[in-house]
Structure 1
Amino acid sequence: MSAFARSFLKKSLLAASTLLLGMPALAEEAASASLSNPFICRRPSGAAGTITEFPLPTEESSPTSITVGPDLNLWFTQTGTGTIGRMTRDGAVTEFPLPTEYSIPQKITPGFDGNLWFTQLGVNQVGRITPKGVVTEFPLPSAGSSPYGIAAGLDGNLWFTQVTGNRIGRITPAGVVTEFPLPTPEAQPTAIALGAGGKLWFTEVRGNKVGAIATDGTLTEYTVPTANAGPSSITLGWDGAMWFTEQFAGKIGRIGADGTITEYALPDANSGPVDITVGPDGALWFVELRGNRVGRITVSGALTEYDVPTAGSQPAGIVFAPPGFLCVDPHLWFTERGSNQLGRIRAVTVP
C-alpha cells in the first residue's frame, strides 16, 4: 500500500473512531473558519434534517452515485452526460468527460491507490480517474457483463458486480481482471461494499439474496426473508453489521456476520429505497427514489424521514460528507437524478 493510501486510510479510520466514541472532536465555528481549510471544522447552528440543494451546471446530467475522494472532495457520476463530476469544499463544480461515448457511468468509489474507480454500465468497462481528472478505461474480458457496483477491498484491488454477467469481478490497480461466477443463476448482483473482516458484501436484486465474497473468491449467499424484495444497496454500519435497502419491498435490512437478517418496513412500501450509507450520528441514512425523501434509521430500527424540497427529484445516491482533519462534518450529501442537483442534509442539531 502506498504512503498516500496509508495516509487516507488512517484519516478514514480516525474519523470512524471519532464517530464511535462521540462528537467532541468537532470544533466550534470560528470567524476564520473556511470550507477550504481541512483543519477547521465548521459547526454552524441548525436543525437536523435541514436540506439545501445545489443545481449542477449541465442540464440533464442525471447525477447518480456519489462518494468522497482521497482529496476530500465530493465525486459523482452523471449518467445523462457520460461525465464524472467533482464538487470542492467551497462548492465549485468541475465535470470530466469520459473518453468512451454513451458509457453510462454508474457507481463510483475511492481506491486505496489514491484514485477513484467507477463502472461504465453501457460499454462494459471499469474506469479510473485521478484527483486531477485523468481518466483511464479498462475493457472487461466477458462481453455484455454490465458492471454496476464497485468497492475497494483490503487486498488493494477493486471489486465490482456484473448485473447481466452474473459475476463478481476483481480488478487490480494495473487493470488485470478476474471474474467469479455466482451460484444463483440470473441473480443480477448490484451493489457491493467492504464489510467487517475484509469480505465484500453484495446484493442480488433478482436473486433476492445478500452475498459475501472473500478475497480468495469464496462465495456465500443468504436469502432475504421477504420475497421479491429487490435488495439493491449495501453498506457497513457502525454496529459492525451490513445494512441494505430493499427497493421493491420498501424496507431496510440488516444482516449480521452469521447471516441473520432483520427487516424494517418503511411507512411507504412503494418509496423505493435505493442507496444507504452511515451518518455522523451513528445511524444509517438512505434515499428513497420514488418517495422523494431522505431517511434515517438507528441501529435499533427507529425511523425518521425528511422530504426533499424539489418535487420529483429522484434522490439516487448518498454519502457521509467529506471530513476535515481530526473533525467530522455534520452533513450528508445526496444526488437528485431527476432535478439535476446535489442535496445536503444536516444529520445532527447544533444549538
Structure 2
Amino acid sequence: MSVSEYAVGDGPYGVAVAGGEVWTTLVHTGRVMTVSGRQFDLDAPESRPSVIVDGPDDAVWFTRNGDGRVGRIGYDGAVSAVEIAGAPYGLCVGPDGALWCTLMSADALGRVTADGEVSTYPIGISGAFPAMITSYDGELWFTLNQGNAIGRMTLGGSVTTYPLPTEGAGPVGICAGAAGVWFVEILADRVGRISADGKIEEFPLPAGSKPHAVAAAADGGCWVTLWAGGALVRLDAQGNVIAEYALGEGSEPHGLAVDGDSVWVALEKGSLAHIQP
C-alpha cells in the first residue's frame, strides 16, 4: 500500500476523476484545481465550491453552496454557472442524464440540464437538511441530515422517506452500490446500507471517527472517509472493516473518488491523498 500527497491549496473538499484529470474544489477560496496544476478562480471567494462530479457533457459540475449556483468547467477550461436558490450542496448525475442537487435551505432537490434549464422539487419535510445525493435503481436517493432518514424521489417528484434505526445519526454521505445504497452516519459512527425495498442495515465504525463521505467499491463493498479519525477505511460487501489507511492527525478527509483500484481523498489540511492498495 502507498499513500501519495499532492498540495493543492486551502480547503480541498470534493474530488472527482474526469477527462483524464483529478479535480478538487477548494471550499475556502472559491477555486477549483486539478492535480496536474490547472487552476480555475471562480471570481467569487464566498462561493464555497463543494461537491464535484463528472458530468454528462465533457465537463465537471460542482455545487456552489455559498452563492446559490451550480458551476461547470469544461474539459477545455470553459467556466460557467447556473443560478439555483436554496444552498445547493450534494450533486449527482441522475438517471435522466441531468444534474440533480440537494437544496439544503429549501428542503428540496434541484434539477439542472446540461443546457442550463432549472427546476426544483420539494421533499415535503421542513428542516430536514438534505445533504448528499446519488442515483440508484432509476431514482434519486439522498440523506436527510436533520430528518434522520434516507429520502427517495422519482423523476416525477414523488418522495418516500425511510427513518433510520439509530436516533440522531446525522446521515451525510451516500452512494449507489451493487446491492443497495451505502450511506454514513456522522453522529453515530456507522455505515448504513438501504436496499431497493427499503430494508436498512447498519455497521459500526470506530467511536468518535465521524464518517463523512462514502464511495462504492467494485466488489460490492465501499470506502469511507473518517473526518475526525484522520483515516480512510475499506468495508467489504458484508459491512466488515477490512482495511484502514491513516492520513495523518488533522488531515480532516472529506470527499473521495474511486479511480480503478486506487482512491483519491480530499484532505482539508491542503492536499489530495492518492491511496494505492
Please tell me whether residue 223 in structure 1 is matched to residue 204 in structure 2. Answer: yes
Q: Which amino acid aligns with 1:296?
A: H
Q: In the TM superposition, what is the alpha-carbon distance from 1:80 to its structure 2 partner?
A: 1.2
Please tell me whether residue 244 in structure 1 is matched to residue 224 in structure 2. Answer: yes
Per-residue CA distance 1:213-248 (angstroms, 9 max, x = gap): 001101000010x21100010001345420010000
Aligned to 1:125: 108
Aligned-pair Cα RMSD in Å: 1.8
2: distance between equivalents of 1:215 and 1:82?
32
Per-residue CA distance 1:159-206 (angstroms, 9 max, x = gap): 000000000000011111110000000000001001123x00000000
Tell me, yes or no, if the aligned pair for 1:76 and 1:84 is still in contact at 8 Å: yes
2: distance between equivalents of 1:127 and 1:95?
14
* 2:128 corresponds to which of 145, 148, 161: 145
Q: In the TM superposition, what is the alpha-carbon distance from 1:42 to its structure 2 partner?
A: 7.8
Aligned to 2:257: 277
Aligned to 1:191: 173
* 2:92 corresponds to which of 68, 87, 109: 109
Bigger relative contact order (CA 8 A; separation at least 6)? 1
Tell me, yes or no, if the aligned pair for 2:221 and 2:238 is still in contact at 8 Å: no
Aligned to 1:214: 195
Aligned to 1:181: 163
Per-residue CA distance 1:103-152 (angstroms, 9 max, x = gap): 11101100111111000111211111111111111111111100001000
Q: In the TM superposition, what is the alpha-carbon distance from 1:276 to its structure 2 partner?
A: 0.8
**Bigger share in strand:** 2
Per-residue CA distance 1:283-311 (angstroms, 9 max, x = gap): 0111011x21100112x3xxxxxxxxxxx
Q: In the TM superposition, what is the alpha-carbon distance from 1:265 to its structure 2 partner?
A: 4.1
The runs of 5 or more residues in structure 1 that have no matched partner are: 1-40, 301-351
Tell me, yes or no, if the aligned pair for 1:159 and 1:171 is still in contact at 8 Å: yes
Q: Which amino acid aligns with 1:204?
A: E
Tell me, yes or no, if the aligned pair for 1:118 and 1:150 is still in contact at 8 Å: yes
* Structure exhibiting the larger radius of gyration computed from Cα positions: 1
Aligned pairs for 1:1-351 (under 5 A) are: 50-98=36-84, 100=85, 103-153=86-136, 155-197=137-179, 199-224=180-205, 226-279=206-259, 282-289=261-268, 291-298=269-276, 300=277
The runs of 5 or more residues in structure 2 that have no matched partner are: 1-18, 22-33
Aligned to 1:4: none
Q: Which amino acid aligns with 2:195?
A: A
2: distance between equivalents of 1:195 and 1:210?
13
Q: Which amino acid aligns with 2:225?
A: T
SS at match of 1:150: strand
2: distance between equivalents of 1:185 and 1:135?
35
Equivalent pairs: percent with the same residue? 34
- Report the count of equivalent residues: 247
TM-score normalised to the size of structure 2?
0.85
Per-residue CA distance 1:56-102 (angstroms, 9 max, x = gap): 2334211111011222311110011110111112111111111x3xx
